[in-house]
Structure 1
C-alpha cells in the first residue's frame, strides 16, 4: 500500500477528541488490531493547523504509541505520520479517501 510521509514541522497540532479504541466491526464490537504487533489500535482526532488552514483529521496509532495526557486542546507531536489513500466498494458504491497513521502521538505539555 502506498504511504505518503506528512511533514508536520510547520503545523500546529492539538487534540480535538481524546483517544478512543478503533473498531474493526462496530456491530460486533471487534477492536481493530495492528497487523504487525497485535496491539489495539486507537483513533485520535487532531486539529491540524497550517498556513492559515485548519482541519480535524482522525489519526490511527497503536495503543503503546500514545503518551502523556491527551485531553481536548492538548498540543501534540505526531511521530512518523503518513497518509494512505484508500478505495473500496460498499453496496455497489465506490468510496475513496485518505487515512492517517502515526507511530506515536505525544503530548507536548510538560508533566508537572
Structure 2
C-alpha cells in the first residue's frame, strides 16, 4: 500500500478529540487491531494548523504508542506520520480519501 510521509515541521498540532478505540465493525463493536503487534488501534482527532490553514484530521495509532494525557487542546507531536490514499465502493457509490497513521502521538504539555 502506498504511504506518503507527512512533514509536520512548522505546523501546530493539538488534540481536537481525545483518543478513542478504533472500531473495525461498528455494528458488532469489534475493535481494530494492529496487524503486526496485535495492539488495539486508537484514533486521535487533531487540529493541524499550518500556513494560516486549519483542519481536523483523524490519526490512527497503536494504543501503547500514545504518551501523556491527551485532552482537548493538548499540543502533540506526531512521530512517523504518513497519509494513505484509500478508495472503496459501497452500494454503487465510489468513495475515496486519505487516512492518517502515526508511529506515536506524544503530549508536548509541560508536566506539573
In the superposition, the TM-score normalised over structure 1's length comes to 0.98
Q: Distance in 2 between matches of 1:31 and 1:85?
A: 22
Over aligned residues, Cα RMSD in angstroms? 0.5
Runs (4+) of structure 1 moved beyond 2 Å? none
- 1:45 maps to what in 2? 45
- 2:2 maps to what in 1? 2
Residues 1-112 of structure 1: matches in 2 within 5 Å? 1-112=1-112
Aligned residue pairs total 112
Q: Distance in 2 between matches of 1:91 and 1:21?
A: 27
Q: Distance in 2 between matches of 1:94 and 1:37?
A: 31
How far has the Cα of 1:110 moved from its partner? 2.0
Q: Deviations over 1:85-111 (max 9, x none)?
A: 000111111110000000000000122
Q: Deviations over 1:22-73 (max 9, x none)?
A: 0000000000000111100000000000000000000000001100010000
How far has the Cα of 1:10 moved from its partner? 0.8
| SS of structure 1 residue aligned to 2:89 | strand
Q: Distance in 2 between matches of 1:12 and 1:110?
A: 16
Consecutive unaligned residues of structure 2, counting only runs of 5 or more, are none
